[in-house]
């Protein structure tokens, strides 16, 4: 899929088919995370694939707005280490977005599930070291819905040379 088309047609998917995600497709998606840019190319991230139903269920219960994680065939958590880079949130977020975009490009769907309200609890479940940050948990699978979304108009969010200047 062409990149601009992928960017514009990607949607957050919250309902999934039962079909498993082939290993080959999962690797493509993870590899897109690996190729994300990072500050000084320090790549402070780790990707944890959640394939065990019990693990997904536990994480799902801890997430405020991600209870549907246990209905997705897979989850991917992105952790980032502040000891490796002083930009763990930026680097982890851009890797997570690369993962979501690549998932869409290969016909999968995903949704960012905000772990911030229960970060320590989810880290504990997944065995992520205390020193690391949990940036994102994503549900991944073949979409069983085709939601629409909206965006603010470009003219309302774009200025030239100075904030507020048209």
The residues binding ligand FMN (CB under 6 A) are 11-12, 14, 65-66, 111-114, 147, 149
157 vs 161, which CB is nearer to ligand FMN?
Answer: 157
11 vs 28, which CB is nearer to ligand FMN?
Answer: 11
22 vs 147, which CB is nearer to ligand FMN?
Answer: 147
Beta carbon of residue 115, minimum distance to ligand FMN (angstroms, whole number): 8
What sign for the dihedral angle of Cα 112, 118, 119, 124?
negative
**Number of other residues whose CB lies within 10 A of the CB of residue 138:** 26
Nearest to 65 by CA among 140, 128, 116: 116
Beta carbon of residue 56, minimum distance to ligand FMN (angstroms, whole number): 15
13 vs 26, which CB is nearer to ligand FMN?
Answer: 13
Beta carbon of residue 112, minimum distance to ligand FMN (angstroms, whole number): 4
Integer distance in angstroms from the first to the last C-alpha of the chain? 34
Between CA 115 and CA 106 the distance in angstroms is: 25
Where are the strands (E) in 11-81, listed by range?
45-50, 74-80
Beta carbon of residue 148, minimum distance to ligand FMN (angstroms, whole number): 8
At residue 78, the 3 state secondary structure works out as strand
Nearest to 108 by CA among 37, 23, 50, 36: 23
Beta carbon of residue 152, minimum distance to ligand FMN (angstroms, whole number): 12
11 vs 46, which CB is nearer to ligand FMN?
Answer: 11
């Amino acid at each position: 899929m062409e990149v601009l088309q992928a960017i514009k047609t990607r949607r957050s998917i919250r309902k999934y088919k039962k079909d498993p995600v082939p290993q080959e497709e999962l690797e493509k998606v993870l590899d897109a995370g690996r190729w994300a840019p990072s500050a000084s190319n320090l790549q402070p991230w780790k990707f944890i694939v959640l394939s065990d139903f019990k693990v997904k269920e536990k994480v799902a219960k801890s997430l405020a707005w991600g209870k549907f994680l246990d209905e997705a065939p897979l989850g991917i958590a992105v952790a980032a280490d502040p000891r490796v880079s002083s930009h763990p949130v930026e680097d982890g977020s851009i890797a997570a977005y690369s993962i979501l975009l690549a998932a869409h490009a290969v016909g999968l769907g995903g949704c960012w599930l905000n772990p911030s309200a229960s970060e320590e609890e989810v880290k504990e479940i997944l065995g992520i070291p205390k020193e690391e940050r949990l940036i994102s948990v994503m549900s991944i699978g073949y979409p069983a819905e085709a939601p629409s979304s909206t965006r603010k108009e470009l003219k309302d969010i774009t200025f030239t040379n100075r904030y507020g200047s048209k």
